[in-house]
Structure 1
Amino acid sequence: MAIEVVPADPAWPEQFRRVEEDLTAALRGVPVIAIEHVGSTSVPGLAAKPVLDIDVVVARTSVAGAIAALERARYRHRGDLGVSGREAFEAPDADPRRHVYVCVEGTLHLRNHLAVRRVLRENDELRQRYAATKQTLASDPDMDIDRYLAGKSAVLQEVLALSDLTGDEKAQILRLNTGGPAT
């Protein structure tokens, strides 16, 4: 299946705000630390797959309550999909298309998302190179998601070089992005 990467859409921040309101209502009673718009759609001016990535940040003790609340709101729980400290959900509708994750505060997965967002928002040159890399990869009609993720790894490592993640954490992220074991 082809990978779709589109120019930045100025509607993405408003779409996130609508989903954030819905998630806040669905999670009423669950101690949520933050609801973060992450991924490429959270970076102004960055080409992206037209799917919002949203991290619902909770303490480890609140994960079960967050899962139950989202299931009541008709989100389908998909498990951790191999990423410890993160629970994935399929949205009950496609308005907008989105991936929603419940993330334990402080985990590497969450810190990676926030670091990439921060660096790409601050660094025009890296943002442009990342967009060009994604567009080039997506232009291959035979591209699959695993090759797409691996193909972005080199520029993502440059992005992470400007983050506050440790060398070991950056190596773990590289292994995850290129299909190796996270250890």
Structure 2
Amino acid sequence: MAKPVLDIDIIIPLSALPSARTALTNTRYTDCGEMNVPGRFAFRQPGYGRSDAAHGAGKNGELRYNTYLMIEGCVALRNHLDIQRVLLGDPELREEYARVKNELKEIEFENIGQYAIGKTEILCKILRKAG
């Protein structure tokens, strides 16, 4: 269960950050910076700006995707990997997470932050299981 947006993590060492940011912006991605998540640098796909929503249907019905440069070892990356590991190994928790996301997809949010807040409780439960 997921929003109809693909999230792509590109894992890099901190030393590669300047060249990776340049490479993405040179191919028309919009650099949105860390957006209050240390070590995770967000980029909007070509054709979308910093103020465009990071969710929902594309302008012409195309798949939406968010690309992130993730600094090796950062908390956000560890969380992504721990969530994936736990959900792959725990069918009951995976179903609970799917139920929460199903409920959230029925709500019209003003911004992606509200969607994220709606997932906080289940994500914390998953991360607690991850240790």
Distance 1:89 1:101 in 2: 6
SS at structure 2 position matched to 1:57: strand
| Gap regions ≥5 residues in structure 1 | 1-46, 165-183
| Gap regions ≥5 residues in structure 2 | 48-57
Distance 1:144 1:63 in 2: 27
Is the 1:56–1:102 Cα contact (8 Å) retained in structure 2?
yes
TM-score (norm 2): 0.80
Which of 7, 20, 34 is equivalent to 1:80?
Answer: 34
1:28-65: CA deviations, max 9, x gaps?
xxxxxxxxxxxxxxxxxxx1101111111111111001
Residue 154 (structure 1) aligns with: 121
1:109 matches 2:63: no
Residue 54 (structure 2) aligns with: none
Matched residue type, 2:125: E
Is the 1:137–1:143 Cα contact (8 Å) retained in structure 2?
no
User: Structure 1 pair 68/144, CA: closer, same or farther in 2 (3 Å)?
Assistant: closer
Which one has more relative contact order, counting CA pairs under 8 Å at least 6 apart? 2
User: Structure 1 pair 141/98, CA: closer, same or farther in 2 (3 Å)?
Assistant: closer
TM-score (norm 1): 0.59
Out of 148-157 and 63-72, give the one that drifted further: 148-157
Q: How many residue pairs get matched?
A: 118
Matched residue type, 1:133: V
Q: What are the within-5 Å matches in structure 2 for residues 58-77 of structure 1?
A: 58-77=12-31
Is the 2:83–2:130 Cα contact (8 Å) retained in structure 1?
yes
Residue 55 (structure 1) aligns with: 9
SS at structure 1 position matched to 2:69: strand
Residue 129 (structure 1) aligns with: 96
SS at structure 2 position matched to 1:162: helix
Matched residue type, 2:43: F
Distance 1:152 1:132 in 2: 11
Is the 2:109–2:115 Cα contact (8 Å) retained in structure 1?
no
Deviation of 1:137 after TM superposition, in Å, equals: 2.5
1:74-95: CA deviations, max 9, x gaps?
2111111112212111111665
